[in-house]
Structure 1
Amino acid sequence: MDVVHYSSLRNNLKSYMDRVTDDYETLIITREIGKNVVMMRLDEYNNLMESIHLLGNSLNRAALEKSLKQLEQGFTVKKSLIDIEDNQ
């Protein structure tokens, strides 16, 4: 994670945007009055929003936690994929 002042960002916008998109760099942009912002790749933002959504619902969070606990305890089943051509 890197920090840059908005005037530097403004003067070098393409370079900073390339760093964010190409290097998966999250950028904090500081402003004079302290209302800072974050620049990140869209796919990272979407992943973050999805995680917040999934964990924000208590029932869904409980189901995910139960599944993780089962995985940690070795309660998994290994299955083979069925070849479609064999079933026709």
Structure 2
Amino acid sequence: MLAVNYSTIRNKLKEYCDRVTDERETVIVTRKDEKNVVIISLEEYNSMMKAAKNAEYLAMIDRSIEQLASGKGTVHELIEVDDE
């Protein structure tokens, strides 16, 4: 992980973008008033978003299991489909 100030990143943007994509580096761009930002590759971003969505889904399943265990479930009849 690299920390680089705004002026440096502006002057060497291509170099740092290449490091992010080619070397899987994370770059923290430091700015005034601690309004810092992070540069990561699209691949890394997509991976993080997928992991977050998976965590949300698993939490939903856990909540559903807890509801069933506490007797808050509802029984439904299955719909039969004709095999034609």
TM-score (norm 2): 0.68
2:43 equivalent in structure 1: 43
% identical aligned pairs? 46
2:72 equivalent in structure 1: none
Unpaired segments of 5 or more residues in structure 2? 63-84
**One-letter amino acid of the counterpart of residue 37, structure 2:** V
1:12 aligns with 2:15: no
TM-score (norm 1): 0.65
Unpaired segments of 5 or more residues in structure 1? 63-88
- Count of residue pairs the alignment pairs up: 61
Compare CA radii of gyration and give the structure with the larger one: 2
**One-letter amino acid of the counterpart of residue 60, structure 2:** L
Deviation at 1:19, TM superposition (A): 0.6
Deviation at 1:56, TM superposition (A): 1.7
**One-letter amino acid of the counterpart of residue 50, structure 1:** K
